[in-house]
Structure 1
Amino acid sequence: MKNHFWNMFANIKNGQLAKRSYIHQKRKKLCELFLNILWTEGFIIGYKIEGKNQDNLKIFLKYVENGKPSINNIKAISKPGRRISYSLKQIWKIDSSKTLIIFSTNQGLKTLAECKKLQLGGEPLITIN
């Protein structure tokens, strides 16, 4: 299932490099959770569920001044072949002033700030800046 998640990162990167206003993605629950965080944090304009069976997502990409993508870099931290997990103590040592870090926790996908607030550890999936 996480394969669609990693493909979505590549699609977003490639869509922004090609200056597209939107991209299409297969609808998966994990992808939607991730997109909700991106929308809340202001990295995308939004997304819409499409298709006959409501099985596709149309993701609207966001650009800032001079047509630069709002997402400069998406980088995987914990990968399927190399899992990493952070305890609550380790999470408090991370400086998140310049990047958004998304964690997979036992309560779903959370940002670093949410993990600190909810006192949760977890698996850091990606950084975005």
Structure 2
Amino acid sequence: MTMTDPIADMLTRIRNALRASHEVLDVPASRVKLNMVKVLKSEGYIKNFKMVSDGRHRQIRIFLRYDKDGSPVIDGIKRVSKPSCRVYKGHEEIPPVLNGLGINIVSTSKGMMTDREAMKQGLGGEILCAVW
């Protein structure tokens, strides 16, 4: 069975692992997902990540981050641009997430970055997901 939206699958796996209080989760690897995880790491939403392989399949192992009281750092993660309805915005039109408390991950011509970085560089692109 083929998967129609692997990015949404990754976000759902992260959401489910956070609800179950898992420390680590594995997602099938792709270049887009790896770049999204790099943005999540640089913004402090996850502890770390690494590529693992069993010889046939590559996986991204994501180490989730929790507060001192055990609550997850990621309160919500939502897919914005979908295969059925792509969302492209210019740098002036990118909407803030929770009045600037969260981030949008934007795929630009200069690579994957947060909405703040894209606005600073004057780049627009496809808004892949929102994290808060």
| TM-score (norm: length of structure 1) | 0.89
Separation in 1 of the partners of 2:72 and 2:4? Answer: 25
Residue number in structure 2 paired with 1:49: 51
- Is the Cα–Cα contact under 8 Å of residues 22 and 61 in structure 1 kept in the other structure? yes
- Is the Cα–Cα contact under 8 Å of residues 96 and 102 in structure 2 kept in the other structure? no
Work out whether 1:82 is the aligned partner of 2:91.
Answer: no
- Is the Cα–Cα contact under 8 Å of residues 92 and 119 in structure 2 kept in the other structure? no
Instruction: Give the helix-richer structure, 1 or 2.
Output: 1
Off by >3 Å, runs of 4+ in structure 1: 93-96
- Gapped regions of structure 2 (runs ≥ 5): none
Separation in 1 of the partners of 2:108 and 2:76? Answer: 23
Residue number in structure 1 paired with 2:42: 40
SS at match of 1:38: helix
Residue number in structure 2 paired with 1:116: 119
Residue number in structure 2 paired with 1:97: 100
Identity of paired residues, percent?
28
CA RMSD after TM alignment: 1.9
Seen in structure 2, the aligned counterparts of structure 1 residues 3 and 89 have a Cα distance that, compared at 3 Å, is same
- Gapped regions of structure 1 (runs ≥ 5): none
| TM-score (norm: length of structure 2) | 0.87
SS at match of 1:7: helix
- Is the Cα–Cα contact under 8 Å of residues 44 and 62 in structure 1 kept in the other structure? yes
SS at match of 1:66: coil
Aligned length: 128
Separation in 2 of the partners of 1:106 and 1:126? Answer: 17
CA apart distance, 1:86: 0.9
